[in-house]
Amino acid sequence: MGQDPYFPGNGDLRYRVHRYELTLDYRPAPNRLSGTARINAIAGRGQLTEFQLNLADFRVGRVRVDGRTAHYTHRGGKLRVRPAKPLRAGAAFTVEVQWSGNPRPVSSPWGGLGWEELEDGALVASQPVGAPSWYPCNDRPADKASYQISVTTPSAYAVVAGGRLLTRTTKASTTTWVYEQAAPTSSYLVGLSIGKYQTVLLGDPGPGGVPQHGHIPAHLLPRFSRDFARQPAMMELFQELFGPYPFDEYAVVVTEEELDVPVEAQGLSLFGSNHVDGARGSERLVAHELAHQWFGNSVSIADWRQIWLNEGFAKYAEWLWSERSGGRGAQQLAAAAHRSLSALPEDLRLADPGRKSMFDDRLYQRGGLTLHAVRCALGDDAFFRMLRGWAGLHRGGAVTTAAFTAHVARFADEPLDELFDAWVYGTALPPLPSSGTGAAD
């Protein structure tokens, strides 16, 4: 698989990362970040005389490979490293990088991405290429690694990261929070939030259940308690429909500030204060972000051309939640999406939407409709077996559209090539799919 055609400057195919250990110190008032990364990696098929990490415009203090000082250059968001001695093909090696500076978002066609300084704290919103705004990484979605993240910050602030909180240690006026995310994680899905939060447990996970915590500014707690009250029921439903929740726990953070859209990260979702209204006005987004834990996070995409496999699935999960919780059925929601798409230009190809259209609402809607078409073709029993199989088979991995169509074919009584040609590879809007069984009504 070659370099990502949408972001050819991000990521390096000559090696892969096994684990990141990040030790960070952040002072919110001056927005000052200093960090050390220890990166365990494996060289690819050829001898490695140099390699690159993506890292924004920080001051780099030191770079070592296997404990020896390495030569490096750092410009244009690329940290090019030349080890003192070439690394043989397949060799395991360790890179250590020290960096410091004032983190800020990296520029992109969608505005600033990555580390965002808030009025009182910070958050990370990296999709798709914002991770280098705060740590050195091999920034491509298919290069997934485990993470340990240690953050030291003034004790008035709470630190929330995706994964399990291992320790919280207070010394004088600072507190160090250490999180472990053992599951393979894409660089853009490493979530972090620093703020003044109250922590609540969402429902009782019980034996074998999934711990779910909310981290919220205290004054928003009454609204949050209503808006997120049904998240434990969503978790139960999605485990029934998609298979076991793929991580140790799930956290949601609500920031003091408004966000255009919620931010998905592995084991963690971030919402703006505008997403809590006390009337469950954003409940479909609560379902959407939770569904991403299966589709997008656990099952990741091989490159950004495949993004409909994240967003179409999360969109369809919204419809499934609505259908199963007393709202409109998937067929009604599909009909509404079809009506809205029929009034818009029909020039978007799901299988390769182009960088400009990665986050176009038409991709979300058409992706949801494609899954509905597959459901109508397979029938409910085979469709949900197919979905559970997809999430289970590719847990912790990275996938393509071709892998999905081949997977679906195993559950179909007859070839579905025409369905995929029309919905995924074509641009014209096919007719609204419907089920003769009434199962999707």
State the catalytic residue, choosing from 6, 197, 316, 364: 364
Binding residues for Zn(2+): 288, 292, 311
Rounded Cα distance between 243 and 248, Å, is 14
The residue written with tokens 């990665």 in the block is: 358
H or E stretch covering 152: strand 145-154
Return the DSSP state at 109. T
| Strand-strand pairing, 78-82 and 51-54 | antiparallel
Return the DSSP state at 305. G
Give, in degrees to the nearest 5, the angle at Cα 120 between 119 and 123.
Answer: 90
The residue written with tokens 């139960």 in the block is: 236
Rounded Cα distance between 372 and 365, Å, is 11
CB atoms under 10 Å from CB of 294, counted, come to: 28
Rounded Cα distance between 239 and 241, Å, is 6
Binding residues: 288, 292, 311
Rounded Cα distance between 291 and 282, Å, is 15
Return the DSSP state at 203. S
Active site residue 289: yes
State the catalytic residue, choosing from 289, 316, 318, 323: 289
Q: Do the Cβ atoms of 107 and 77 come closer than 8 Å? A: no
Active site residue 364: yes
Written as six digits, the tokens of 135 are 């740590």
Indicate the angle between helix axes 231-242 and 380-393, nearest 10 degrees: 90
Coil, strand or helix at 93: strand
Residues 6+ apart with CB under 8 A from 30: 102
Question: How many CA atoms are closer than 13 Å to the CA of 286, on its beta-carbon side?
Answer: 29
CA-based nearest residue to 259, from 282, 227, 229, 280? 282
Residues classed as catalytic: 289, 364
